[in-house]
Amino acid sequence: MVVEIFKRLQDRPKLEVLATASEQGLIRSLVQMDPPDHTDYRALVQPCFKPSNIKTLEDRLNVITELILDDMMGDGSERELDFVQDVAVWPPLKLIVELLGVPEKDEPLILKLTNELFAGEDPEMMRAGDDPLSGIDTVKSLYDYFTALTDERRANPREDLASYIANGKLNGEYLPYKELISYYIIVATAGHETTRTSISGGMHALLRNPDQLQLLKDNIDDEDTVKLAVEEMIRWTTAVNQFSRTATADYELRGQTIRKGDSLGLFYASANFDEEVFDDPFKFDISRKPNRHLAFGTGPHQCLGLILARMQMRIFFTQLISRIDEMALAGEGEYLRASESERVQPSDLKRGFIARSTLSCF
C-alpha cells in the first residue's frame, strides 16, 4: 500500500512525505494532535469561534437558510425531493465556504471532495468505487486546492478564516506544509459534513416519530423547546460514530486492563445510548432533559465549532417547521456504507427520504 501511495504521489514531489509512517498518514490536523501541538494549533483560529463572533453570523445564516428553503418549497405544491442531497447539505456548506472565504462557484467542488473523503467504502461516494486507494487522489486534490488558496491569501489577506490559517504562525514561522493544508481540510470538511448529517438524521427521526414532530410544531416559537429538540437530534444521530485513540498510561476500566500504547476504539454512538446515563435511551424524545450526550466529544478535543453547529440547526429547524404543512417519508432511506462489515447510523442517510410534502410558501 505504501508503495502504491508513493507511485500516486510521483507527480507531486512535495507530497511524498505524506506517505511515510513517521508523518502519521495523509492528514495531520487537530484530530491527530496531542498537547502542546494541539493547544497551539487550536489557539490559532479559536477567536473565530468565540460566542460573540458566532452571534454575528446569525443574521447571515438566517438569510442562507431562507433562500435554501424557498428553493425547496418551489411553488408550494406537493412534491417529492431528496432531502439529504437537495436540502440538508447546503446550509452548513454555504456557511463554512463563506467563513473560509472560498468562492461560491467552488461550493460543488468542496462538496464533492468532502463526500469522497468521508466515503468509507461506499462505491457511489468514492472517487473510484473499485479502487480502495482512490481517497489518496481526493487528498491530492484537496492539497492542490488549498495550496493555491494559501498562496493567494498570503499575497492578499482578508478578514476570513482562510487568511487566519494561511498567515498563522507558531514560534514566528508559518505552519509546516502538511499541518497547514490539513487545517483547511478539517475546517472545510468536518465543519459542514457533521452538521448536514445531524440535520438529515434529525429530520428522519422527526418523520419517524410524528408525535415528536407535532410537539415541535406546537412549540416552534419557544426557543428552549427548539434547543432541547436540537440536542436530542444531535444525540440521536451522533454524526461522529467513532474515533481511535492510544492509551498513554495503564488503566483499569471495569475489570478490563488497558495497557499503555493500546489502541482504543471510542464509540460515541454507544455512549449516547448508554442506559446508565439516559432514561429510555432508544426513545427519540425532544423534551429530554438533561441530555448529557458526547456527540461533540469532551475534554481538549471537544468540537471547536459546536456553538456554530447548534446555531445552524436551531435556525434551520425553526424556519423549516414554521413553513411546512405536511411531510411524509417516501420510503426507507439509502444508507452510506462505511465498510463491508459495518452498517452506519441512520444519521448517515445519503439520499431521498422525504417526499410528498405539502408545503406552504411565505
| Domain range for 119 | 2-359
CA–CA separation, 281 vs 150, rounded Å?
A: 45
Would the pLDDT of 277 be above 60?
Answer: yes
* Per-residue pLDDT, 355: 30
pLDDT tier, 235 (very low <50, low <70, confident <90, very high otherwise): very high
* CATH code (residue 283): 1.10.630.10
Higher pLDDT, 85 or 56: 85
CB 306 within 8 A of CB 234: no
CA–CA separation, 11 vs 305, rounded Å?
A: 35
Q: Where are the alpha helices (DSSP H) in 127-222?
A: 134-155, 161-167, 177-185, 191-208, 210-218
Cβ neighbors of 155 (< 8 A, separation 6 or more) are none
The average confidence (pLDDT) of the chain is: 83
What pairs with residue 245 in β-bridges?
264
* Per-residue pLDDT, 351: 41
- Report the C-alpha dihedral over residues 284, 286, 291, 297, rounded to 10 degrees: 80
CA–CA separation, 48 vs 305, rounded Å?
A: 9
Q: Could you read off the pLDDT of 65-85 as tens digits, one per residue?
A: 999 999 988 888 888 889 988
CA distances from 117 to 48, 66, 338 (A): 25, 29, 12
What pairs with residue 15 in β-bridges?
none
List of E strands, 187-277: 242-246, 251-253, 256-258, 263-267
Higher pLDDT, 336 or 274: 274
Total count of domains within the chain: 1
Q: Which of 328, 348, 351, 331 is nearest to 339 (CA)?
A: 348
**Residue 83: how many other CB atoms lie within 10 Å:** 26
What share of the chain in percent tops pLDDT 70?
81
pTM of the model: 0.85
Cβ neighbors of 233 (< 8 A, separation 6 or more) are 198, 199, 201, 202, 205, 206, 286, 313, 317
CB 179 within 8 A of CB 45: no
Q: Could you read off the pLDDT of 116-147 as tens digits, one per residue?
A: 877 666 666 665 555 656 667 788 888 889 99
CA–CA separation, 353 vs 332, rounded Å?
A: 6
pLDDT tier, 154 (very low <50, low <70, confident <90, very high otherwise): very high
* Per-residue pLDDT, 224: 97
Q: At what angle do helices 191-208 and 210-218 cross, to 10 degrees?
A: 100
Cell digits of residue 115: 463526500
Would the pLDDT of 264 be above 70?
Answer: yes
- Report the C-alpha dihedral over residues 213, 217, 219, 223, rounded to 10 degrees: 90
pLDDT tier, 3 (very low <50, low <70, confident <90, very high otherwise): low
- Report the C-alpha dihedral over residues 78, 83, 68, 232, rounded to 10 degrees: 120
Would the pLDDT of 257 be above 50?
Answer: yes
* Per-residue pLDDT, 230: 98
Specify the DSSP element, H or E, that contains 3.
helix 2-8
Q: Could you read off the pLDDT of 159-188 as tens digits, one per residue?
A: 889 999 999 999 999 998 889 988 998 888
